[in-house]
Structure 1
Amino acid sequence: MTSLLAALFLAHVLADYVFQSAWMVAQKSKSETLFLHFLIVLGAAMVATGQLADPWIYLLALAHVIIDWVKARFADDGIAAYLADQGAHLATIGALALIAPDLYATGLWGTAPAWVAHAMLLAAGLIYTTRAGGFAVGKLMQRFGDSPFTTTPTGTAQDGESLQNGGFWIGVLERGLIFLMLIGHMPAGIGFLVAAKSVLRFEATQDTKKAEWVIIGTLASFGWAIAITIGVIALRDALPPLEIMRPTP
């Protein structure tokens, strides 16, 4: 069942954060966009589980787009709706794993080495930590109004000589580094990351509002990365162990 969870998690991440464009997100309430997203979710689930005709895969994709339709139709674009949407998707994945635990074992990857499921989980975890975390932090910061940093006509936050989209890439890299450090059993490196960011951001945070903005965003980004990575580690430890080949004496 744990291998199935890893596969379905990867399918969800690919469908929502890799193959779903900004245009699709903006047009999610339209039936044709939902159908296109249904096909993407279905295709990702088929590839990840190695199942092409199992009805549970189709029901999973249907449940996914129903959740998206409900969010687009009745919810706002805030952090609470985003977390509820993601929680519903992950709960659906967990429910399917309980109902049909042999879905992965009877699929194309059922006889594959254990490292395949491990690779799926780590890839999904890295994408979810970096990409999904960026949306979560961005929606959280909307609660505090407009950014105190100068904003360009295109909506990109700038401050003096800041790079275009610099804040976005800083967030992606810091969450990715946290994920890698925790997976690699190097949690002490997170303290170094905090110190380095504090030093580099010192001049930009002399203003109280800017300082609070950076602190809240940083703590939210770090918190998301740590929480998701802890979950990934827990699931990884429950996966079938990797078979390490020992040298012949």
Structure 2
Amino acid sequence: MALFLLMIAAHILGDFYIQKDNWVTCRNNHHFASWGLGKHVLSHVVLLFIAIGLAGFLTAQGWIAIVVIGFSHLLIDVWKSYQPNKLSYFLLDQLFHIVIIALAALALSGIGLAEIKTQLYLLLNVKYLAITCAYVIACRPVSIAITIALDNYTAQLADKQTGLASAGRWIGYIERCLIISFVLIGQFAGVGFLLAAKTIFRFGDLTKEKDMKLTEYMMLGTLLSFSCALLLGWWVNKL
């Protein structure tokens, strides 16, 4: 685990702290022929050398791991340079890097398939599955359910400004995940703070509008969102 964490720390330092904006611009413009990409990969190789050395794995296999990760990082970043600047591609890029680092760490640590299976089985118990289900349900499914529940009222507010596209949906995702987290760790004060904070931010808009329909609509949406999240958190705790 120490080896993996050191390698991840090296990756984070190389990708988010040492890499400069002009290196990224150069990579996106020139792809394989980018000097910025060359500097970026070289910095990763140096950081990996330090991380693997600190973990005590700087053997022949350690050097092979450095070369493999460095080369894979080059290929992944070249692929990313052809993609649009969207969150999905950013997350996919990071996932590729982390999977390769994890595989290299497993190979260096000498952990076999039997041990990996044992650890995976430990994660597949009721507690972790219930927590995963709660967070997954709290996002898209609950969002769709609330949209359907408020459909009749939404039609009455068709002439109102809706703000940023999809912003309300993402606010709902985040607030419900936070509420579930607060419930699971027993910090119910956090739920009250979140509700108070949301009320304060909404209060100015509602006062400005002076529209009872909009106020009631906002209250319904908020109360439904909070109720669903609290029920999911309670369900996980009961399990």
TM-score by length of 2: 0.46
**Structure that is richer in helix per residue:** 2
TM-score by length of 1: 0.44
